[in-house]
Amino acid sequence: MSNYANQAIIDIIKRNRISTTEIADCLGKTGDISGVCALNRGHFAVGNVNSVFAINDSNWETHKMLRNVTAGDIVLVIPINCSSRAIFGSLVSRFVLLYRQAAALVVKGYLRDIPHLIKEDYPIWCYGGTPIGCYNREIEITEEIQSQIDIYHAIYRGSIAVCDDSGVVVIPKLYINDKFVEKLHFIEEQEDIWFDCIDRKKWDTFDTVCLKKYLGDDSQ
């Protein structure tokens, strides 16, 4: 799907601040990046996914790939064979978020310099913190590692990520179409109806969510 289609969906989600919960519902209750949590509360971010990698306990390739980050990207950092070491800390986070103007950092692993990252209130999602970091050494990209990278690129290239206090959900490229836009509008309308049913009509959640009595109610 074209960049235009991606941007149209990003604009809808951003303008309506559609939550990760609602996005996951539109995806059939799927799409989350398991284990990542908001480091700093209150942030909301949506953008195209830009995947970078840390490999064999080294962040050499991470630094190299971060050169290609563009403004508005959700930078997804994926460790390959990195045990539980922190991928990077405050220096890289500052470079990516301040100077490259990425919308958010999502790390499927750990970070260090956590006190500084909290102080700066950066939009970061990760597994947590550790003082033990990766090494900065050049490594060989074997065929096996390149195969893993290719698999991740096939999953995430052309996708959109949405991040809030509930976590991170990725909209795959396959879903970036007019049908998904309709789902976004539907989920927003449904949420409004459900809250109206319990707040104004004083219905219980069984009548509202399970029986959907509002579908036959003429007093809306």
pLDDT digits (tens, 9 = 90+) for 98-121: 999 999 999 999 999 999 999 999
User: 4 pLDDT band (50/70/90 cuts)?
Assistant: low
pLDDT digits (tens, 9 = 90+) for 50-107: 999 999 999 999 999 999 999 999 999 999 999 999 999 999 999 999 999 999 999 9
> What is the C-alpha separation between 19 and 106, in angstroms, rounded?
16
Cα separation, 202 vs 198, whole angstroms: 4
Domain that holds residue 206: 178-216
Q: How far is CA 108 from CA 18, 169, 175, 180, in A?
A: 23, 13, 23, 26
Q: What pLDDT, on the 0 to 100 scale, is given for residue 2?
A: 54
106 and 192 both lie in a single domain:
no
Here the tokens at position 84 are 């539980």
Q: Residue holding tokens 């800390």?
A: 89
Which residue is listed with tokens 């049908």? 179
Pair (155, 199) in one structural domain: no
Same domain assignment for residues 82 and 160: yes
Based on the domain organization, do 190 and 163 belong to the same domain? no
Both 61 and 38 in a single domain?
yes
Say whether both 53 and 122 belong to one domain: yes
User: What is the chain's mean pLDDT, rounded?
Assistant: 95
Residues 58 and 160 in one domain: yes
Regarding whether 184 and 130 lie in a shared domain, the answer is: no
Is the predicted pLDDT of residue 1 greater than 70, yes or no?
Answer: no
How many secondary structure helices (H) and strands (E) does the chain include?
A: 8, 9
- pLDDT of the residue at 5: 84
The string of pLDDT tens digits covering residues 163-220 is: 999 999 999 999 999 999 999 999 999 999 999 999 999 999 999 999 999 998 765 5
What does the alpha-carbon distance between residue 39 and residue 49 come to, in Å, rounded to a whole number? Answer: 19
> What CATH number is associated with residue 47?
3.50.30.40
Q: Is 65 helix (H, G, I), strand (E, B) or coil?
A: helix
For the chain, give the percent of residues with pLDDT over 90. 95
Are 171 and 198 within one domain? no
Number of domains, the chain? 2
Q: Do 171 and 183 lie in a common domain?
A: no
Verify that 129 and 183 share a domain, yes or no: no
Q: Quick check: 37 and 126 in contact, CB under 8 A?
A: yes
Q: According to the model, what pLDDT value does residue 218 have? A: 60
pLDDT of 41 strictly over 80: yes
Q: What CA–CA distance (Å, rounded) separates 124 from 41?
A: 9
Indicate if 100 and 144 belong to the same structural domain.
Answer: yes
